[in-house]
Amino acid sequence: MFAATIQAGGFVEGLVWLADAVGVEGALFVGITFLLAGLLATGIGTGYGTTVAFVTLFFPAGVLLGANPTLLFGAILSGAVFGDNLAPVSDTTIISAVTQDADIGGVVGSRFKYALIAAVPAFVLFVAAGSAMAGIDVAGDARSIFVANSEPAGLAHLASLGAVIATALYGRHIIEAISWGIITAVVLNVALGLAAVSEMLVFRIPTDAPVGDVTFLPVVETATDASEVGVGGSIYSGAAGFFSISILILLIIGGVWIMVRGGAFDALLEWVLESVATTVRRTELSMVGSVALINAAITINTAAEIAIAPYVARLGERFNVNAYRRANILDANTAALGYIFPWSGGVLVGFEAIRTQVLPEYEWFTAAMVVNPADVFPYVFHGWLLVAVFVIAAWTGFGREYTIDRVPDEVTTL
């Protein structure tokens, strides 16, 4: 709801304006795209939403500016990885903290080092590859796309992000922090004319509704067609978008607990402990590998994370690995691989946005410019580097923490 509401208020259009205002061009464009996508994803907590927003607004302009389309798509996916991994309001961040019994703020703080170590060389790689990899020569005016898609006032939603962070830093519950963010976003949208009330919440009633004329209310509209009757707006659609995945997650949790109660889970664990995870180093490496395997099988990263979370917890607890470290191994590799495998949800949502939104929108954009998911996976630099950081961290012990080192706070504090 928070992400959808600040997007309705043009926050991404504000970032587009910012990119245009500082005159980013050429090789640096790909690097800056990575940074801005990472900023958006960290603010709104949804990598999928960030991917769609950047593919539709940044991608066509970047292609016109001479950026290689495959590399540019890789930079957008990398930004999504960064935010999914680090954002306090990201679903995967919250799941990793809750399932490992650690506070969200501590989890974010403890994973900052891994994210930074991966992000710095990823940015350098994007700039370097942006210079080395040729773009497509198309006749068009990139600036006109920027101007058409830019809205400087959208940057006001930095205050919405600030409201979430400030409330959270004040020690309030994560639900309360996000609620203050939604309230701030709604007030800014209305006060600055960024979005009408009906874009955030609308009840479309039939013409013969037995309630009299209530269309003077800003949240009520008359549906001209029976198929339009219903509830809409960012607040509703933001929540509704998660209904189906919530049911999938409940089913996965049910399946996992059937395995736990039935003993299959312990049998699998004992086998792993006897044959593979015989030292703490091998245990952490096997956690990274197991998270990779589950993400290859379950393409929605949230669902994959929930399915493997009990395994990571039990295995780590056998070596008294701290909840923060377990949460970081779980989330970083889920976030990364959920945007690397060509069949993963993160890649496919971006591919679909290019195919169904960018392709029909611009005359100069041809089917040959649509990026094949199988081509982009080597260029998700931040994702690959994040996985590499964790393999090295498991091997060397960098960042490792035990239960004896510190006790996490209550789960929902930031």
Least distance from another protein to the Cβ atom of residue 155, Å: 25
Residue showing tokens 């940057």: 155
Site for another protein, rule CB under 8 A: 99-101, 105-106, 108-110, 112-113, 169, 260, 279-281, 310, 313-314, 317-321, 323-324, 396-407
Least distance from another protein to the Cβ atom of residue 266, Å: 10
Q: Which residue's CB is nearer to another protein, number 223 or number 259?
A: 259
Least distance from another protein to the Cβ atom of residue 381, Å: 22
Q: Which residue's CB is nearer to another protein, number 172 or number 281?
A: 281
Least distance from another protein to the Cβ atom of residue 94, Å: 15
Q: Which residue's CB is nearer to another protein, number 28 or number 260?
A: 260
User: Longest C-alpha distance within the chain, in Å?
Assistant: 72
Calculate ∠ Cα 366-354-51, nearest 5°: 150
Least distance from another protein to the Cβ atom of residue 108, Å: 8
Q: Which residues contact 146 (CB under 8 A, 6 or more apart)?
A: 16, 17, 19, 20, 61
Helix (H) or strand (E) holding 353: helix 345-353
Q: Which residue's CB is nearer to another protein, number 318 or number 355?
A: 318
- Measured CA to CA, the distance from residue 90 to residue 99 in angstroms comes to 14
Q: Which residue's CB is nearer to another protein, number 105 or number 130?
A: 105
Least distance from another protein to the Cβ atom of residue 377, Å: 30
CA atoms within 13 A on the CB side of 161: 21
Token code pair at residue 323: 């909840």
DSSP secondary structure string, 187-199? HHHHHTTSS-HHH
**What are the angstrom distances between the C-alpha of 276 and each of 4, 30, 271, 393?**
44, 41, 8, 18
Q: Which residue's CB is nearer to another protein, number 143 or number 406?
A: 406
